[in-house]
Structure 1
């Protein structure tokens, strides 16, 4: 059964099939070849995989981000970021980093960050004299903050895959790593800007008093705090928080910024439905794969084999890092979590690793795959919206990838970077 599953899954990946179809067809083939099993269990597991109340948070958070974008959020955050850091050396690069970090607290999606505000930021940087390939590479690299800083769609899926962590604990654990990623890219941007003499462009910077810009951006900036604060103080659950975020985004976009019109709602709802359907199909297909793995006792076999190696916790983490870096090259983060976590989480638990620490290492690791060819989703999206060939963009992204690997190393060897804030707020998992 496991041999059929592995052969079919790898075969579909080599043929270039979408990951959801690869998981579904491999699971169906494994069930078909198992005597005494009916293919109906595939359908049953697809539906049972979607029968989870916390999954409702995914379409709500996507809708909240779409509503905020329709409410001129990108323009507001960009003006504030440019005003704060735009006059420094490499100012628009720093504004790019700050804007996408702000936006990450609302979207929860790297691809949404790159395709939305990222496209606007690339145009501004190009107009200011930055290399178009560098602007695109910086945008793609910064966009990976989206799944790290809460709210995060990947973290919701991870918490549903591994019961040893909670959604709230993961949200809090992602704050410091997300800021570390943004800070490391700011260092790279400064070094490149000094080397290439990228200077600020005063005519592209809003001269509105900074206090007025802060007040205008404040309704958007407080949304992550409303979500986390409401959950922490028991006002609502994570799923209810996502619905509250939709209501808040609708009110802010319509009545505070005044740019969200009701005739924009059909297009917003359509984009939300399309993204939700894609994610849910991956979740349903991965439920089939997870069930087949469990029936085949593959996680238990791998756990026993690794335990026989008697690796130290640090050595185990390093081995998992190498494995996930390789997996992330070919598989997007969301299906990567669904496939790898059921296998790797028992290993981490047996080694005594903190579940929140391990979860952040896994999420950051798999997210790095979005800017590594040949399947880097962020590279493709950014290449499309910027018109920059992917090869040029990859060359410019190399120092940024090195900085991100340094951050991954820090997160690996210093668990407190992930666990300090959740522990401070009373969350141990």
Structure 2
């Protein structure tokens, strides 16, 4: 059963079958090897995988991001970020990083960041004289902040997969790692801009005084604080916070910015439904895959084998990092969490690793796979929206990937970077 599951899954992935269908078909093939098991088990697990109240947060957070985008949020954040740092050497590169970091506190999705504000930022950088490939590579690399800074769709799914962490704790644990990632990319952008003499043209910057731009951006910037603050002070649960974010985004876009029109709602709802269906279908099929893994004793076998190696905490973390970096090359972060966490979380717990620290290591590892060929979902999306071929973009992304790996090493061996803020606010576990 285990061999059929593994061979089927790897073979389907090699053939380019979408990850959700690969997990479902591999699960069905493995079940067929057990005549005593009914096919109804698949249906039951598909539904049970979705039968979770916290999963409601996913469509609500997606809808909130779509509403804010429709309400001119992207333009407002871009104008403020460009005015704040745009006059410095490599200023539009810094504005790219700052804008996507701001937007990540609303979207929770790397792909949404790259396809939405990322496309606009690439065009601005091209006009300012940045190379096409560099602008695209910087955008793809910065977009990985989306799943790290709260709210994060991957963190919601992780919290449902591993009961040793809470959604709120994970949200807080992602703040400092997200800031570190943004800072590391800003350093790379500065060094590249100095070497290539990338300068920003004043003609491309909004002449409005920075204070007025800041005041205009405040309604968008405070949304993450409303979500985290409301959860922390008990005003609402994480799932209720996602619904509150939708209401807030609707009011801000309609009455504060005045750019969200009612005739835009059908398209917004359609995009939200499409993205939600894609994500939840992966969640449902991964529930089938995880059930077959459990029945086949695969997590227990792998855990027993690794435990038999008697690795220290440091050696275990290094081994997990290498494994996840390899897995992330071929599997998107969301199914990666659903497949790998049930196997690795018990090992981390047995080794005495802090669950929040381990969760951030897993999420950052798998997210890095989005800018690593040959799969690299962010590379494909950014290539499409920018018109830049994959080859030149990958070459430009190398120093950024090195910087991100250094951040990953820091997060791996300095747990306080992930656990300090949750511990300060009482969410250490």
- Kept in 2, the 8 Å contact 1:348–1:355? The answer is yes
Structure 2: distance between partners of 1:110 and 1:201: 28
Q: Deviations over 1:322-353 (max 9, x none)?
A: 00000000000000000000000001000000
- Kept in 2, the 8 Å contact 1:254–1:260? The answer is yes
Corresponding residue for residue 412 of structure 1: 412
Q: TM-score, normalised by structure 1?
A: 1.00
**Structure 2, unpaired ranges of 5+:** none
Structure 1: distance between partners of 2:203 and 2:365: 39
Corresponding residue for residue 158 of structure 1: 158
Give 4+ residue runs of structure 1 displaced > 3 Å after superposition: none
Corresponding residue for residue 340 of structure 1: 340
- Give the secondary structure class of the aligned counterpart of 1:22: helix
- Kept in 2, the 8 Å contact 1:101–1:145? The answer is yes
Matches within 5 A, 1:8-407: 8-407=8-407
Measure how far apart 1:298 and its partner are: 1.1
Corresponding residue for residue 4 of structure 2: 4
Structure 2: distance between partners of 1:301 and 1:392: 42
Q: TM-score, normalised by structure 2?
A: 1.00
Structure 1 window deviating more from structure 2 (171-180 vs 27-36): it is 27-36
Structure 1: distance between partners of 2:327 and 2:266: 37
Superposition RMSD on alpha carbons, in Å? 0.5
Q: Deviations over 1:48-104 (max 9, x none)?
A: 000000000000000000000000000000010011100100000000000000000
- Kept in 2, the 8 Å contact 1:110–1:146? The answer is yes
- Give the secondary structure class of the aligned counterpart of 2:226: helix
Structure 1 window deviating more from structure 2 (206-215 vs 407-416): it is 206-215
Measure how far apart 1:391 and its partner are: 0.6
Structure 2: distance between partners of 1:137 and 1:6: 34
- Kept in 2, the 8 Å contact 1:137–1:394? The answer is yes
Structure 1: distance between partners of 2:305 and 2:387: 47
Structure 1: distance between partners of 2:119 and 2:210: 24
**Structure 1, unpaired ranges of 5+:** none
Structure 2: distance between partners of 1:7 and 1:398: 32
- Kept in 2, the 8 Å contact 1:32–1:38? The answer is no
